[in-house]
A and B are shown apart, each in its own frame.
Chain A
């Protein structure tokens, strides 16, 4: 009797535990009859892109009262770790938005549904081969590619003209040209180039094909790493520009892409290498008197190839509605939808038809024609199919490149760290 109150408290605790364990995790109604709800985890973070996504989903929901899609917005930061716990905790959404390079490990682990049968032939033909390859794992299409990013050079027209540089035109521009222009425009407190390389791996991987750099051969667990001349060419070029020519504003090497834009706005740098998506931000935030242009795509000795690492939509294999999810993605990737989304994000659509829609609509406004033209140069990237790539990127490659760019290690050291790190991880 005396301890009744306490027992009550104990009971409360136990009850809380029990109730929780019964009610927890039951987000999906899943019952028969009612409308199906699909969770669509979207990483879109530009206000315009969020709006475009909402519009597409709204249209789908209006047309499909039985299959309602709910957007679950989240950020890019830490999303890889998050997906690991989501999948392991059984809380992954139905439709997953993420980049191709990072979903491969999940696909290999069997977390992603095979969409080969669901993807229409029309779509299969509409997606360039190199891009479709990037989402094909063990002969299964595990995702729909949606948006592609290419690296572009944005230039301050006035600073180039003042330095007597003719603004390059033509289909491509060589890295040597870039280096010359950077040298020519470096004087006083102005640097030729600002390049936000705080996450260097993505940039070096994407641009390596221009120098014949492949990094990986073989696929899956058997992937082998090679770091030879082709792979080292770009890091060494950046190093030479930064420390011999002194034509790269040093602080930008430690900044993220968008942080490095500030010095471009301020006229401290004449050019900046950025993901094409920055065109949207530059159009919005650049000082009104800054006249800027997009220079032609960069080409190395092996051409202007950039590794395709598209953003993708994939389906959780444990989703109760794989088929509906695939249908929704099929709708999401129709030409007009992809064109609208990519316009909002200033990215390049992963389908030829959507690229055409955009080209027709936008013409040469804000450098669009150049950005879209760079879309022809995407090639399939071997690193996408190396199982341990995502892990290698974060724990080995990024720190190693950072050390190299800060001159903490030399080229030989970088080579060793990249290969030894890979061996350590995959042993």
Chain B
């Protein structure tokens, strides 16, 4: 029995590896094929001719670079904002009980269940009155708001892990609460902040729906929007550059997730990044 189990397990594992990994491999392969090869019916993982030009074309085309810059700005700004405003709130959430905590945790849960479609219509109207549609500032605020529940949840988990005795010791020395927070609590939160920041960044970088509705001028597009506009109408697709651009767009998220790998434990992360 035992003799058979191990090989069977490895076969299963191999199946998983192929299922999970192959699509990305294929994307990379398509990104170095010529358009003639991509439009032929011949299939091979390795290109008959390495066509690096796709990358140059993707980068040169229709503002991919400026979209990447937009994505970067929005992702960085919303990450910083999220961390800044979530830190104090997460502390309160973790340390207090009563109505605030119930409301806070309740909202975090409810926010996971929202269908964005119901929100996007009024959100569009609200932002329009503030002149914030078609604006990276507007998108940043929206991304901040919608990453916030998750960031709060994650951070408060870390706060709970900090023994209150440390704070008490601080207060005994006569330090104000804010000083205690600044000197004792926030430094201890550093690992949690890094993790939360990475997730916020990736959520914003990957986000599609809000950007689709809220951004209107191509010069404001974020990367996912620009990539879909590559697809083209009536299928006038330049597949090679599309594959190249897509692969490049996925790199930051994959890198961050690989760094985060060890921290990805359990439901703490549930809801971190979703389509």
Given A6-B88, A9-B85, A75-B230, does the pair A89, B124 have CB atoms closer than 8 Å?
yes
Q: How many A-B residue pairs have CB under 8 A?
A: 144
Chain B minimum-CB-distance residue to A3? B178
Chain A CB within 8 A of B229 CB: yes
Q: Which residue of A is nearest B182, CB measured?
A: A5
Cβ–Cβ < 8 Å partners of B259 in chain A: none
Q: Which of B132, B135, B141, B235 has the most CB of A within 10 A?
A: B235
Q: Which residues of B (49-101) have their CB < 8 Å from a CB of A?
A: 62-63, 81, 84-85, 88
The segment from A255-263, A353-361, A379-387 found at the interface with B is A255-263
Residues in A neighbouring B40, C-beta threshold 8 A: 262, 265-266, 287
Residue contacts A-B, CB under 8 angstroms, 12 given: A1-B176, A6-B178, A9-B88, A23-B137, A24-B135, A39-B217, A46-B236, A72-B219, A74-B229, A76-B234, A85-B213, A284-B35
CB of A285 closer than 8 Å to a CB of B: yes
The residues of B that contact A9 with a CB separation of less than 8 Å are 84-85, 88
Q: Are B134 and A89 in contact (CB under 8 A)?
A: yes
CB-nearest residue of chain A to B228: A77
Residues in B210-232 with C-beta less than 8 Å from chain A:
212-214, 216-219, 228-232
0/1 per residue, A60-79, Cβ < 8 Å to B?
Answer: 00000000000011111111
Question: Once the chains bind, are A24 and B81 in contact (CB under 8 Å)?
Answer: no
A172, B228: Cα distance in complex, Å:
39
A21 to B141, CA, bound (A): 12
Q: Kindly identify, within residues 75 to 120 of chain A, every residue whose CB is under 8 Å from any CB belonging to chain B.
A: 75-79, 82, 85-86, 88-93
In Å, the complex CA distance between A259 and B237 comes to 9
Q: Is the CB of A285 within 8 A of B36?
A: yes
- Tell me the complex Cα distance, A46–B233, Å: 12
By the criterion CB–CB under 8 Å, are A75 and B235 in contact? no
Which residues does chain B contribute within 8 Å of A261, judged by CB atoms? 39
Does B131 belong to the interface (CB within 8 Å)?
Answer: yes
CB contact under 8 A between A21 and B234, given known A2-B178, A12-B84, A85-B124: no
Q: Are A72 and B218 in contact (CB under 8 A)?
A: yes
17 additional A-B pairs beyond A12-B84, A88-B124, beta carbons within 8 Å, are A4-B178, A6-B88, A9-B85, A13-B85, A20-B135, A39-B217, A45-B236, A73-B63, A74-B229, A75-B228, A75-B233, A76-B234, A76-B236, A89-B216, A91-B133, A263-B41, A285-B39
Are A285 and B219 also in contact (CB < 8 A) when A25-B131, A275-B234 are?
no
The residue in chain B whose Cβ has the minimal distance to the Cβ of A83 is B216
The count of chain B contact residues (Cβ–Cβ below 8 Å) is 43
In the complex, whether B263 has a CB less than 8 A from a CB of chain A is no
Docked-complex contact A73 and B218, CB < 8 angstroms: yes
Chain B residues lying within 8 Å of A39, measured Cβ to Cβ, are 217
State the CA gap A257–B44 with chains docked (Å).
24
Which B164-181 residues have C-beta < 8 A from chain A? 176-178
B4 to chain A, nearest CB (A): 42
B228: A residues at CB distance < 8 A: 75, 77-78
Task: Report the minimum CB–CB distance from A78 to chain B (whole Å).
Answer: 7
B233 close to A77 (CB less than 8 A): yes
Given contacts A24-B130, A74-B229, A89-B216, contact A266 B235 (CB under 8 A): no
**Interface residue B138 (Cβ < 8 Å from any Cβ of A):** yes
Question: CB of A199 within 8 A of chain B?
Answer: yes
Q: Which of B63, B177, B218, B219 has the most CB of A within 10 A?
A: B218
Ranked 7 nearest A-B pairs via Cβ: A76-B233, A256-B235, A75-B229, A20-B137, A89-B133, A91-B134, A24-B131
Task: Say whether A76 contacts B182, CB under 8 Å.
Answer: no
The distance from the CB of B170 to the nearest CB of chain A, in whole angstroms, is: 13
Residues in chain A near residue B130, CB distance under 8 A: 17, 20-21, 24
Residues in chain A near residue B230, CB distance under 8 A: 75
The distance in angstroms between the C-alpha atoms of A284 and B238, with both chains bound, is: 13
